[in-house]
Amino acid sequence: MADATPDWIDIGGIDDIPARGARTVRTGGKPVAVFRTADDEIFALIDRCPHRGGPLSEGIVSGKSVACPLHNWVIDLDGGQARAPDVGCAPAIAVKLVDRRIFLAADAFAEAPGPTAAERGQTA
């Protein structure tokens, strides 16, 4: 993990995650799910479905979304919002890809960001 800057933690290579798949990262607090799309984009979310806490890392990834394995809520990987009609958010973790290595923002583990009250209260 020599490349890690103080703010970013190197958690592994992109090829460690299957395309259209996910792996988990153990943290001091809540587990994090790191997703890889078919076009090699990487996203990271807290591995808890906003519905009833299902492990999103076990869901089916298509496009930029994942379907929760427990009751099939569809969550946007980019931002973690549940797709309508469901409402909720799996907090997103900043992540970046440098030379096919994956870095997670270190401050994310201090305290995971939640949705703002405004975001949560938003209706159509």
Partner 1 sequence: MDMHSPRRERLIVIGNGMAGMRTVAELLERAPARFDITVFGAEPHPNYNRILLSAVLAGEKSLDEIVINPRSWYEENGIDLIAGDPVVSLDAAAGVVRSAGGRALAYDRLLLATGSKPLAPPIPGLDLPGVCAFRDIADVETMIAAAQHGRRAVVIGGGLLGLEAAWGLKRRGMSVAVVHLMPTLMERQLDVAAAQLLQRDLDKRGIAFFTNGQTEEILGGERAEGVRLADGREVPADLVVLAIGIRPNIDLARKAGIDVNRGILVGDDLRTSDRRIFAVGECVEHNGQVFGLVAPLWEQARICAARLAGDDGAAYATPPLFTKLKITGVDVFSAGALAAADNADDEITFHDAKRGVYKKLVLRGDRLVGAVLYGDTADGSWYVQLMREGADIAALRDRLVFGQTAAGGDATVPAGIDIAAMAEDAQVCGCNGVSKGRICRTILDRNLTTLEDVRAHTKASASCGQCTGTVEAILVHIVGAEAAAATGREPALCPCTEHGHDAVRRAIGEQKLKSMAAVRAALGWKAADGCHKCRPALNYYLLCAWPGEYGDDPRSRFVNERVHANIQKDGTYSVVPRMWGGLTTPAELRAIADAAEKHRIPTVKVTGGQRIDLLGVRKEQLPAVWADLNRAGLVSGHAYAKGLRTVKTCVGSEWCRFGTQDSTGLGVRIEKMCWGSWTPHKVKLAVSGCPRNCAEATIKDLGVICVEAGYDIVVGGNGGVEVRVTDHLVRVASEADVLEHVGAFLQLYREEARYLERTAPWIARVGIDYVRQRIVADAPQRRALHRRFLHSQEFVQVDPWAERAERGVEAHEFAALGRAG
Using CB under 8 A as the binding rule, whether residue 77 contacts partner 1 is answered as no
Using CB under 8 A as the binding rule, whether residue 41 contacts partner 1 is answered as no
Using CB under 8 A as the binding rule, whether residue 88 contacts partner 1 is answered as no
Using CB under 8 A as the binding rule, whether residue 2 contacts partner 1 is answered as no
Which residues in this chain contact ligand FES in the complex, by CB under 6 A?
49, 51-54, 68, 70-73
Shortest Cβ 89–partner 1 spacing (Å): 18
Query: Which secondary structure element, helix H or strand E, spans residue 42, and what is its range?
Result: strand 42-46
Shortest Cβ 96–ligand FES spacing (Å): 27
Q: Which does 5 bind (CB under 5 to 8 A by kind): partner 1, ligand FES, none?
A: none
Q: How far apart are CA 48 and CA 95, in angstroms?
A: 17
- Which long-range CB contacts under 8 A does 95-98 form with residues at least 24 apart? 95/34, 95/42, 95/43, 95/44, 96/8, 96/42, 97/14, 97/40, 97/42, 98/3
